[in-house]
Amino acid sequence: MNQIRLRGDSSLNQSTTAFPIDANGDQTRLAPRRKIALIPGSNAHLTDEIHCLLRRRLRVAGLIALAGNAYFFLKGLLFGSSFLVTTLDFSFHGATVGLMTALCLLLWSRNALSLRALRTIELTFFGSMACFFAYLQLNSFNHARDVLQVAGNHEDAIRLATTANGLRWFILIVLYGTFIPNTWKRCAIVVGLFVLTPLLLTFGACFKCPIMGPHLGSATVDMMVVLVIGAAIAIFGSYKISELQQEAFHARKLGQYQLHRRLGAGGMGEVYLGEHLLLRRACAIKLIRPDQAGDPTNLSRFEREVQAMATLTHWNTVEVYDYGHAADGTFYYVMEYLPGLSLQDLIERHGPLSPGRAIHFLRQVCSALKEAHGIGLIHRDIKPSNVIASQRGGVHDVAKLLDFGLVVHQIPVGETSSDQKLTVQGTVVGSPPYIAPEQARGKGEIDARTDIYSLGAVGYFLLTGQAPFVRDTAMELLVAHIHEQPSPLRDVRPEVPHDLETVILRCLSKDPTERFQDADALDRALADCDAAGHWDHDQAAMWWNEQIEAPPKREPQLVG
């Protein structure tokens, strides 16, 4: 019985390439296919991560502190307060709440803030709370002194006042240490100031006071215990957080590349947005982990095929910059990152394409396949999500063929190769909606005409908004590709020209001998269609500019 391994959504279904920018802000193309030396990166990128983390943490810490202060301020206004009784008291508290509100609004705004600006906000935020807590502490001691002149049990009253003040400072210290990313030394300096301030205020308020002075020692010790515990938690927490950030940063490094957010995942790996640490060039990095690859020979096959991919230089093929193995055995390869829309996303967002625009994309993919087929590489996974409509060099609607994860070498009839051992016979590979009949059977009869079939299925999708066969399960799709004929395109969308429909249906012939025999023949047939040339780069630029000004609707609509 055949083993079935179906290809899921492409790893690069989402937007995939950024390009170097020259001094004038224009995109430039680097010299292709150059090996990059493995040179350790700098800490500048870690600083960038801390910058983003600091803003997120300040937002959360700010909301927590603001909520607490605003609650007690409103409570004091409505029901009175033990310590805030004068207009000056409430004015100071209100000013603190107002300042904290303004800082929170700034942090949650879309304004770009430098690391220095964020550090200034950090110190202003926590400094304003420290000033208010110091004011509260002096008020509490003055209030306690007035009360103690009349009441007795001085020591218990002072202990209560110092405990309340110590708790406020404890919360401030722990909030700072656990939320704000710092080196432990910087955290220790700031926290040290937070510890010294209430202790000095306690000493100053009680030292010469005849009522509270005798109890200065016990009050100071009680407060010191609370503050030292808070300082220990804050400094150790800051140290561990910083250490974990460093470890996570280095864990996301592959040689000279730094991983950022995940772009997508497929059946054989994951794709991340990455960056070259020295060139600061964005790239897409595909990771194929040993446990995902299954048979260990798959990793060898991927490495072999990536080496072959690296020789492809066509404008319409995704460029491979580098590849290698991580320390844990993960195989990775680095590709250009293409901002844009996959053809799958393009149709889902905007509906079927005009015949001229569909031909425009299909001919570009044919051009990419000419080079690949010319050196014996069969893609085997051509589908709308593996073609990106991107902008390159100021040119719009540039089709980029990507995800060669299932690529295989075509072996001439009668010849054998050790490479064949890396491809399991009887295994179904590909994406069911666009798979060729010979792939669906799990046979080894794979050649350029297999890609022609899949490209014809992509053309069917571009023109009608649906794949040639729509079924509930993958197995039903495989059976349909093997035995059933697709509905004529004009039955689904009457405005499709007859000559273009004929070309697409010929690509979808069950018998490979009845299809176009190579990508060049298909390209010529598409060029002979009446709609060829009805879409050009100027129209594409105009269309994309309109989408920037007016975001696309989700309802299907004719594009182009």
* Max intra-chain CA distance, the chain: 110
φ and ψ at residue 436, rounded to 5 degrees: -80, 155
Q: State yes or no: pLDDT of 504 exceeds 90.
A: yes
Looking only at the bridges linking them, the beta strands covering 3-4 and 427-428 are: parallel
Task: Give yes or no: residues 125 and 262 share one domain.
Answer: no
> Which range is most confident: 138-147, 395-404, 419-428, 457-466?
457-466
How far, in Å, CA of 42 to CA of 550, rounded?
Answer: 41
Residue 31 belongs to some domain of the structure: no
Residue 516 belongs to some domain of the structure: yes
Encode pLDDT of 308-317 as tens digits.
778 888 989 9
Q: If you average pLDDT over every residue of the chain, what do you get?
A: 78
Q: Which of 314, 336, 358 is the last residue of a domain?
A: 336
CA distances 336 to 36, 314, 326, 373, 401, Å, are: 14, 13, 20, 21, 12
Confidence at 224, pLDDT banded by 50, 70, 90: confident
Residue 211 belongs to some domain of the structure: yes
Task: Give yes or no: residues 218 and 328 share one domain.
Answer: no
Residues 241-246, mean pLDDT to the nearest whole number:
70
Rounded to the nearest 10 degrees, the angle between the axes of helix 448-464 and helix 355-374 is 160
The CATH number for 407's domain is: 1.10.510.10
pLDDT at position 296 is 63
Nearest to 423 by CA among 441, 409, 436, 438: 409
Task: Give yes or no: residues 430 and 459 share one domain.
Answer: yes
Confidence at 17, pLDDT banded by 50, 70, 90: very low
Q: State yes or no: pLDDT of 418 exceeds 50.
A: no
Encode pLDDT of 157-200 as tens digits.
666 777 778 888 999 999 898 888 888 888 899 999 999 998 88
pLDDT at position 529 is 96
Task: Give yes or no: residues 230 and 290 share one domain.
Answer: no
Residues 506-514, mean pLDDT to the nearest whole number:
95
pLDDT at position 157 is 62
Q: What is the dihedral of CA 368, 370, 373, 379, to 10 degrees?
A: 30
Residue 184 belongs to some domain of the structure: yes
pLDDT at position 411 is 47
Residues 59-78, mean pLDDT to the nearest whole number:
88
Nearest to 362 by CA among 465, 466, 463, 439: 463
The dihedral through the CA atoms of 428, 433, 435, 440 has a sign that is: positive
Active site residue 381: yes
Task: Give yes or no: residues 401 and 529 share one domain.
Answer: yes
Higher-pLDDT residue of 376 and 460 is: 460
Task: Give yes or no: residues 367 and 440 share one domain.
Answer: yes
Segments of 406-473 assigned E as strands: 408-409, 427-428
pLDDT at position 557 is 36
- Candidate list 322, 345, 381, 447, residue with the active-site label: 381
User: Any idea which residue has 């040179």 for tokens?
Assistant: 39
Q: Which of 200, 224, 250 is the last residue of a domain?
A: 250
Of the listed ranges 218-232, 295-309, 415-429, 434-448, the one predicted with least confidence: 415-429
Residue 33 belongs to some domain of the structure: no
Distance between terminal CA atoms of the chain? 47
Q: Which two tokens stand for residue 233?
A: 């938690």
Q: State yes or no: pLDDT of 331 exceeds 70.
A: yes
What is the domain range of residue 104? 44-250
pLDDT at position 554 is 41
Domain count, the chain: 3
> Which range is most confident: 65-79, 254-268, 425-439, 512-526?
512-526
Residue 443 belongs to some domain of the structure: yes
Q: State yes or no: pLDDT of 542 exceeds 70.
A: yes
The model carries a pTM of 0.56
Residue 113 contacts residue 55 (beta carbons within 8 Å): yes
How far, in Å, CA of 268 to CA of 363, rounded?
Answer: 29
Residue 39 belongs to some domain of the structure: no
